[in-house]
Structure 1
Amino acid sequence: MSSGHLNAQYNLRLPDDLKQKIAHSSKELNRSMNADIVARLEESFEQKSFNKLDEVPLEELLAVVMKKLGRNSLSLTREEIARAKEFSKKREKT
């Protein structure tokens, strides 16, 4: 979280189910709902780096891919495999 003072106020309306998710998250992380919202917003503005993927265990990467694709749709087309191979070659050159 940024070190600046929280001095701007904004009245926010959000769906009840989202509020419940925030309440649950903030309780698990032992922080206020406001702190949880601010932390999530700040994180969303941080630039994501794919350079550190090499440091992530393969099992974790596969779990994310499986979740994104859906458990029953792990078949890839030849075109998708070719694009993945080309992307891999480009990464090796850099």
Structure 2
Amino acid sequence: MSPSETSSMSGWLRTDRTLPAIESLRSALLEPVQAIAFWTAIGLPLVYVPMLATGAVWQNPVAVLAILVLNIVAFVVGHEHNLPESGRSQH
């Protein structure tokens, strides 16, 4: 067995077909996840306005913090949505 077929780190058997399949699955899921995150990051701030207007910000500070953290995560995950390939960073 050649070194390219096995991984000493994980102990899993890797074949030349496994990596393209994983890469294909990753690329198939990446766009929809980025799109959902992008639009969540756009729409989630609309939740802040009613919370401020009704005073829910002061009644539920943990919920507000959770929404804020979710918004930040959505911005980070969705920041490359719909960018041209030349503008995307290589991960």
**Greater relative contact order (Cα < 8 A, sep 6+):** 2
- Greater helix fraction, Structure 1 or Structure 2: 2
Larger radius of gyration: 2
TM-score interval for Structure 1 and Structure 2 normalised by the shorter chain: under 0.3
TM normalised by structure 2 equals 0.27
TM normalised by structure 1 equals 0.26
